[in-house]
Amino acid sequence: MVIDAVEEKKEIISRYRRLLRKAKPTLKGNDAKLIKRAFTIAMEAHKDMRRKSGEPYIFHPLSVAEICVEEIGLGTTSIIAALLHDVVEDTDIQLIDLERIFGKKIAKIIDGLTKIRGVFEYGTSAQAENFRKMLFTLSEDVRVILIKLADRLHNMRTLDSMPRNKQLRVSSETIYLYAPLAHRLGLNAIKTELEDLYLRFTDYPVFREIADKIDETRASRNKFIKQFVQPIKEELDKLNVEYEIKSRPKSIFSIYSKMRKQNIPFDEVYDLFAVRIIVDTPLEHEKSYCWQVYSIVTDYYTPNPDRLRDWISTPKGNGYESLHTTVMAKNGQWVEVQIRTRRMDEIAEKGYAAHWKYKDTVSSHESNLEKWLVKVRELLEKQDLTALEFVDDFRGNLFNEEVFVFTPRGELKTLPNGATALDFAFEIHTDIGAKCIGAKVNQKLVPINHVLKNGDQIEILTSSKQKANEDWLRFVISPKAKSKIKELLKEDKKNVVEEGKEILLRKLKQLKIETTSQMYEQMRAFFNVNSQFELHYRIGKGTITVNDLKRFKEFKPSSPLKTRPHESVDVKTIEQEINKVKGRYEDILLIGEDMDVVEYKLAKCCTPIPGDDVFGFVTVNEGIKIHRTTCPNATELLANHGNRVIKAKWTSQHEVAFLTGLKVIGTDRVGLINDVSKVISEELKVNMSSLAFKTDHGIFSGEIMLYVNDTRHLEMLINKLEKVEGVVKVTRFDSRSNNT
Ligand code: MN
């Protein structure tokens, strides 16, 4: 690539100016100076680096900063952190240097954006560890996540130049963690774009198909909407209020999800678009105006009573406010109408940062997000979780919408969507949870695993005889209830173990078995348990009975019992595996960076067949497993264990080609070369890499380098060539030892 240094420099400066221009309305004091300082440091630090696309690296932090300003609405602190976000991770500059120049706050944010260095134990997940690290900083400063989302958005927008396996890993991480996070923080526009990009990079044909269909149906859709809103417009005009009517089709990803979930074709997705009516009203009239608009809409069209959603009276957990109704159009089609004010619309699109803007005016809605952050903090404080468990809990609980329920005294409690009566009991108090035997929901008796709905009023029933059991873990979804139950079970287990220990000692005495460490070892092997603790537990629980102990006594090991070695797999052994089977080519799946033929198993969850878009996953005990990129488990595997993912590609056997050489000798005649190359390229569909012919006194000799699948294929080719008129002999020569 030819790089014009002067042009490039100009482009960098012009992008930097564009950033400043966009940030200008928010700049105060010496903000501009600080931003310039950050830009200069970043540019200098990244000056020799390029992105995979070949662009200067600094384009990336500049774009991230621009997204922060323009699409999230952040200010100077975030701009500086965004400009410097990759500096500590990728260059020699240290955090302490940045702290000296820009202060503690900015250094903290950058630290949260810097990946943990070093090697992770096999079985742990670097991605999960890094995600947790980032969230630790989030609990102090939300901007870390917002900048991270901007970073991720820009990386997704420029994912084209990345290799396929990296595209899959980054996309999966995005759909698994970042898109839900954007949603949870109310950044709807970014969430939607991330989801669409995910689909684009994981299943392009489907993405294209839906995008094309949206385009094709645009004209007729617009015509329909125009007719639909006409009477509403006429009424709104009489109201003497500023308003705007928008209509956008649903995102490609949400149409795709709908098609998949309901197993329907594109044409049957009935709510392809929604009509949005945005009114400009002063804060104190917001609610009444929205309902007035609702009244106008339903004067003309019959609403579906099941589909009225009032998120103005109770905003969603992520701050979303709007009034939704679905009405029947004159042609018998259901149309969703969203009614909201300008302020609500801005919050719906830009989320958290837009909240700040209105912080002084509306406090109750902001507090929903604050509450969420408190829960994130609670989860982060749980030390005993591994990073993977943490990510799992985080996804399971903190991405969910909430249900609002009431205590018998009318006190409002917020629980994750899907929470049960048992969750509620633990929310009230640990002791109540531990003794919970059921509940009365709206005066009706229900079991402890009853799922709560918005507005339910719950009275918990307890009994002093109740005890927590393993099943309870499946009945609850809130992190609080889960961890409390685990504690109770641990406590319980300890008691059982103590009891088991006593029983064992007593029985050993009765059976006159000597208590030596060797005996314990034999006993563990006999009952196939890993530890003394487990042994005592099983005895305490009664799964190992007195009779079992007698059987052990009768069992005389003839030779010392061997304990089974731990099963383990080292990542390096994969490489050995690859080398071991290298050279076999009857398989038709190519794996790894070098696209080798390696042993593998097809995953049972998605049963890939040749031609599917696939990837390899290095499992702990079963070697390499092949999954389809659309496998239901793919997202989780790629997002949490990207380091164990290897490239894999189906190649039909005919495409597995080996370069080989053929020498053709014959008597020269007009058109011979033409006939020979015709046999090779047309009849056998073989690729020639080079062809050289010479004639000497009527004798023709030629050397052809070509790609064949295997020896059988080569033999067939030789036979055919020998049948060409004038050819006397065809022989094979080694491609490397001969001329090139
Ligand atoms: Mn970055």
321 within some domain: no
User: What are the tokens at 48?
Assistant: 């020799």
* Eight-class DSSP state of 622: S
Q: Given a cut of 80, is residue 575 above it in pLDDT?
A: no
Ligand 1 centroid to residue 136 C-alpha, Å: 19
Task: Out of 593, 623, 650, pick the residue that ends a domain.
Answer: 650
Cα of 39 vs centre of ligand 1, distance in Å, is: 15
Which band of pLDDT confidence, cut at 50, 70 and 90, is reported for residue 353? Answer: low
**Please, which pLDDT band fits residue 82 given cuts at 50, 70 and 90?**
very high
Distance, CA 503 to ligand 1 centroid (Å)? 60
Q: Are residues 717 and 617 in the same domain?
A: no
pLDDT of res. 62:
96
Tell how far the Cα of 21 is from the centroid of ligand 1, in angstroms: 22
Query: pLDDT at residue 445 above 60?
Result: yes
Is the pLDDT at 359 greater than 70? The verdict is no
Residue 243 lies in a domain: no
Domain-embedded: residue 336: no
**How many domains does the chain divide into?**
4
What HEC string does 60-125 produce?
HHHHHHHHHHHHHCCCHHHHHHHHCCCHHHHCCCCHHHHHHHHCHHHHHHHHHHCCCCCCCCECEC
With 0-12 / 13-18 / 19 or more C-beta atoms within 10 angstroms meaning exposed / middle / buried, residue 106 is: buried
Residue 580 domain-assigned?
Answer: yes
For residues 116 and 67, membership in a common domain is answered with yes
What residues have CB less than 8 Å from 716, skipping those under 6 apart?
684
Distance 85 CA to ligand 1 centre (A): 6
Residues 548, 616, single domain; the answer is no
565: pLDDT confidence band, cut at 50, 70 and 90? Answer: very low
**Residue 666: beta bridge partners?**
700, 727
Q: Determine which of 103-107, 254-258, 457-461, 577-581 has the lowest per-residue pLDDT on average.
A: 577-581
The fraction of the chain above a pLDDT of 70, given in percent, is 81
Mean pLDDT for 642-665 is 70
Average confidence (pLDDT) over 209-216 = 93
pLDDT band of 737, cuts 50, 70, 90: very low
Note the pLDDT of residue 261.
Answer: 83
Contact 155, 175 (CB under 8 A): no
Residue 635 near residue 615, CB atoms below 8 Å: no
Q: Among 66-70, 160-164, 628-632, where is mean pLDDT lowest?
A: 628-632
Q: Which residue has the higher pLDDT, 224 or 261?
A: 224
Give the confidence band of 226 by pLDDT, cuts at 50, 70, 90.
very high
678 token code pair: 């015709």
The model's confidence at residue 569, banded by pLDDT at 50, 70 and 90, is: very low
Q: Are residues 34 and 182 in the same domain?
A: yes
State the average pLDDT over residues 329-350: 87
Cα–Cα distance, 79 to 69 (Å, whole number): 7
Ligand 1 mean position to 245 CA, how many Å?
A: 37
Q: How far is the CA of 48 from the centre of ligand 1 (A)?
A: 16
Predicted pLDDT of residue 654:
45
The answer on 148 and 27 residing in a single domain is yes
Q: What is the CA radius of gyration of the chain?
A: 34
Q: Tell me: do 133 and 41 sit in the same domain.
A: yes
Q: How far is CA 575 from CA 300, 582, 591, 603, 674, in A?
A: 69, 10, 11, 20, 46
Query: 719 and 639 in one domain?
Result: no
Under a CB-based contact definition with an 8 Å cutoff, are residues 337 and 291 in contact?
Answer: no
- Model pLDDT, residue 550: 82
Q: What percent of the chain has pLDDT over 90?
A: 25
641 and 511 belong to one structural domain: no
252 CA to centre of ligand 1 in angstroms: 26
pLDDT at res. 398: 63
User: What residues are annotated to the active site?
Assistant: 89-90
Rounded to the nearest angstrom, the distance between the alpha carbon of 86 and the centre of ligand 1 is: 5
Biggest CA pair distance of the chain:
111
Please indicate, yes or no, if residue 724 is contained in any of the structural domains: yes
Task: Give residue 567's pLDDT.
Answer: 35
Q: How far is the CA of 155 from the centre of ligand 1 (A)?
A: 7
Q: How confident is the model at residue 634 (pLDDT cuts 50, 70, 90)?
A: confident
Candidate from 85-89, 361-365, 619-623, 670-674 with smallest mean pLDDT: 361-365
pLDDT class for 560, splitting at 50, 70, 90?
A: very low
Reading the block at residue 443, the tokens are 């005066």
Q: What is the mean pLDDT of residues 560-583?
A: 40
For the record, the structure tokens of 82 come out as: 């965004």
Instruction: Confirm whether 471 is domain-assigned.
Output: no
Stated pTM of the model:
0.61
User: What per-residue confidence (pLDDT) applies to 271?
Assistant: 77
Distance CA 400, CA 426 (A): 18
**Ligand 1 geometric centre to CA of 150 (Å):** 9
**What does the pLDDT read at residue 526?**
80
Phi, psi of 704 (to 5 degrees): -120, 130
Using CA atoms, how far residue 727 sits from 195, 206, 600, 699, 733, in Å, is 61, 51, 44, 10, 17
Q: What distance in Å separates the CA atoms of residue 347 and residue 366, rounded to the nearest whole number?
A: 10
**Count of positions (residues) in the chain:** 740
What CA–CA distance (Å, rounded) separates 642 from 571? 13
From ligand 1's centre to the CA of 57, what distance in Å? 10
Q: If you measure from the C-alpha of residue 63 to the centroid of ligand 1, how many angstroms do you get, rounded to a whole number?
A: 10
**113: in domain:** yes
Same domain, 636 and 726: no
Residue 85 CA to residue 154 CA, distance in Å, equals 13
| 639 CA → ligand 1 middle, Å | 17
Q: Is residue 533 part of a domain?
A: yes
Q: Which residues of 195-333 form beta strands (DSSP E)?
A: 243-249, 273-279, 302-303, 309-310, 323-328
* Residue after which a domain boundary falls, among 624, 650, 676: 650
CA 98 to ligand 1 centroid distance, Å: 17
Average pLDDT over the chain reads 80
Q: Highest mean pLDDT range out of 125-134, 226-235, 375-384, 658-667?
A: 226-235
| Whether residue 596 has pLDDT greater than 70 | no
Name the residue with tokens 């994912």: 159
Residue 173 alpha carbon to ligand 1 centre in Å: 15
Of 627, 566, 570, 617, the closest CA to residue 592 belongs to: 617
- Number of other CB atoms surrounding residue 447 within 10 Å: 12
**pLDDT score recorded for residue 594:** 63
How far is 574 from 580, CA to CA, in rounded Å? Answer: 10
638 band by pLDDT with thresholds 50, 70 and 90: confident
Q: Which domain-ending residue is among 650, 682, 706?
A: 650
The pLDDT tens digits for 290-320 are: 999 999 999 999 998 888 888 898 777 777 8
Tokens of 107: 């250094």
What's the 381 CA to ligand 1 centre distance in angstroms? 27
What's 42's domain CATH number? 1.10.3210.10
pLDDT in tens, 693-732: 777 777 778 887 777 766 777 788 888 888 888 888 888 7
- Residue 591 corresponds to which amino acid? I
Contact (Cβ atoms closer than 8 angstroms) between residue 350 and residue 72: yes
pLDDT value at residue 421: 95
Structural domain span for residue 191: 5-207
C-alpha–C-alpha distance, residues 144 and 113, integer Å: 7
3-state SS of 47-75 is CCCECCCCCECCHHHHHHHHHHHHHHCCC
Extended beta strands in 523-679, E state: 589-591, 596-597, 601-602, 614-618, 624-628, 645-650, 658-667
d(CA 60, ligand 1 centre) in Å: 7
Under 8 Å between Cβ of 444 and 425? no
657 has a pLDDT exceeding 90: no
Structure tokens at 697: 């006194």
Asked if residue 134 and residue 78 are part of one domain, the reply reads yes
Same domain, 669 and 526: no
Whether the CA torsion 137, 172, 354, 325 is positive or negative: it is negative
Instruction: Express each pLDDT in 2-45 by its tens digit.
Output: 667 888 899 999 999 999 999 998 888 889 999 999 999 999 99
Are residues 525 and 575 part of one domain? no
pLDDT over 90 at 159, yes or no: yes
What is the three-state SS of 416-472?
Answer: ECCCEHHHHHHHHCHHHHHCEEEEEECCEEECCCCECCCCCEEEEEECCCCCCCCCH
pLDDT, residue 608, reads 74
- What is the DSSP pairing of strand 596-597 with strand 658-667? unpaired
For position 718, which CATH number holds? 3.30.70.260
Closest to 633 (Cα-Cα) out of 651, 646, 647, 615: 615
